[in-house]
Each structure stands twice: as structure tokens, then as C-alpha cells.
Amino acid sequence: MKKTFALILAVLMLTACCTACTNGNKDDNPTPPADAHYPVTITTYNYAKEEVQVTFNKCPEKVVCTNQTQTELMLYFGLDKYIAGMAYLDGEIRDDLKPQYETLKAAGKELTVKGYPSKETVLALEPDFIFGWRSAFADDALGDVSEWHNLGVGTMILRCSNNTVPERNLEAVLADIEDIGKIFNIEDKTNAYIDETRALMAKIKNKVDSLEAPYTAIIIEPFGGTFYCWGSNTLTGNLVVSAGATYALPDGGDLSVEDIINLNPDVIIVDYMDDENLTPEESKQKAIDTVMTEAALAEVNAVKNGKVMAINLTDVYGGGIRMVPSVETMFNFMYGD
């Protein structure tokens, strides 16, 4: 009986001791409260351009950026620590972001320079978020977003990439940036960027409203003697409108030299891609020369008045942080600082 009592007492004392230890740990190391910001849900898209709701229960920590546009967005907003892999460069990384990019590259996070990484390569990284262009989710690339959602991987497609949404304009670009703020809980930074953009657009509107007539303009891409003109319903063309111009060919389309003469725009903007055999400045000048050295265009207003400029296609296509500075650059070229 005494042995039984002693055993029960020992068990009770041990239980009390364990309880005290547990209570002590709870007081000394309180469980951190759940992040009140999450969960957040965004509206994004699949390869078929259909709206898809994606919910993030926490901040993504292993992000694969399928294109330069997405990588630069992440770097710009100080999210480089979350990048697990980056791919598909269209040109030079923005100068102010090169140090961060080179650090990630040295750490082995540059998956490809041209083209998309394989699905197997991305799977091996065990990402929790894939940030891409619509083309990245084609069957012959990473596969549709639903496949990744079934694996618990979030996705986001930029609205203006590969004609994902019908209204491809600066508002769509800002909507992407607003979503980034929600996903990574950095709305203070993204809201500040959006506010600065709205202030710029107000400045442009005030300037244009004070003019008797805005300049007429087009943005074109040379193709060996002919040109492709972006329509104002594309992001590339709409940015020219955002910069304060009246678009001379809203529907866009292929143009001959004679077509440009008939349009007689006040401003011609020529887009180009970097030529690996030329310096960036030489690539830029080559694009300008396709218009300025064409004798038949000598009497076109833009050529007569020196209102022909070149802009890298990366700066005016697909969305991202290059779009707003490009609007300001085109505005300043047309109307002065």
C-alpha cells in the first residue's frame, strides 16, 4: 500500500513539474500572433485568358520569375531575398537593379538567359509562387496554372503580357503592382508608386490641356523596309497616348513608307531590341536611322522637325516598372520637361 501511494505521489509530482515547465515556456516564448494581413486573394489569369482566383495564406518565400519583367519588379520593390529562380532576359537589366541581379546570378539563381526553364527545373526548386507572362504557362513551357495550383503553388500573370486582358493600358500595369503589394504585404511601397504615377499623369494632362492641339504620334517597329504600327489598344500604343499624344493610327497594322507619308505624324517613336553585335547606343541609333535616313520620309512632320525617337521594346511592352518612366520619357521628348 505504501509503495502504491509513493508511486502515485511520484506521478503527481512529475505531472506538476511538467505542467510548470510547460507554463514557463509558454510565458517566456509566446506563440507569435498570425499575420493579420493574410490570407489575401487576387484575381489573375490562366493561359486561356480566363480569370482565376488565387489565395495566399502567407508571404511567398520561394519565387520563380519566368521573365525579366517580373525579376525587375521583384528587385525594384526589394523582394530579391524571395527569388529562388529567374529566367528569360529580353535585354540588359536596368542599371539600378544590376547589383542585386548579379548577386542572385552568382548564387546560381539565373535559370536561363533565353527561353523558359523546363517544368522539371522549376519543380526541383519547390517554389511557392510562379510569377510570369502568360506564355510561360503554355503546354510546351511550364503548363497551365491549374497544374501548379494543384501542387499548392500560387501564380500570377501580368495583365498586359501576351494580350492577356482586353484593356491593356497603364491602369492594368498599376493593377499588377497593387496585387504585388497585397501578395508580399508591401502595400506602403506599392501604393506610394501608384500615387507617384497618378501625380505624373495629372501633370501630363495639365500640360496637354493647355495646348491648342496635342502632337499626333505613332510607335512603329521596322521590318526591312516596312513597319508594324502598334495600335492604341495595345499597351505599347496606349503608353504613347498616356504620354499626351493623339494616336495617328488607333487600329495599328502594317505600314509602308507611303502609309507613313499619308499619316504625316508629328512624332514617330521607333521601338527596337538590343543587337548583340552593337552597343546599346548603337542599337538605339540604328532604330532612329531606319526613319531618318529614309529619303521618301524627308517631308513627314516628325522627320522635318527632328521628332523621331527610339525606345527599347522592353521599356514599353508587357508591363512592369519600366512603363511609367517610359511615359515620362516620351512626354518630355514631345513637350519638353
The answer, yes or no, to whether residue 82 has pLDDT greater than 50, is yes
DSSP H helices, the chain, are: 2-28, 68-76, 98-106, 119-124, 145-150, 170-184, 187-209, 235-242, 257-263, 280-292, 301-304, 323-335
pLDDT one-digit tens code per residue, 127-164: 999 999 999 999 999 999 999 999 999 999 999 999 99
Q: What Cα–Cα distance (Å) separates residue 95 from each residue in 76, 102, 279, 322?
A: 11, 11, 15, 12
| pLDDT score recorded for residue 35 | 76
99-125: b (≥16 Cβ within 10 Å) or e: ebbeebeeeebbbeeeebbeeeebeeb
What are the structural domains, with CATH classification, of the chain?
40-192 (3.40.50.1980), 212-335 (3.40.50.1980)
pLDDT one-digit tens code per residue, 168-221: 999 999 999 999 999 999 999 999 999 999 999 999 999 889 988 999 999 999
Q: How confident is the prediction for the chain on average, in pLDDT?
A: 90
Q: What's the chain's length in residues?
A: 337
Comparison of pLDDT for 336 and 321, the residue scoring more: 321
Using CB atoms within 10 A of its CB, is residue 52 exposed (0-12), middle (13-18) or buried (19+)?
middle
The answer, yes or no, to whether residue 32 has pLDDT greater than 70, is no
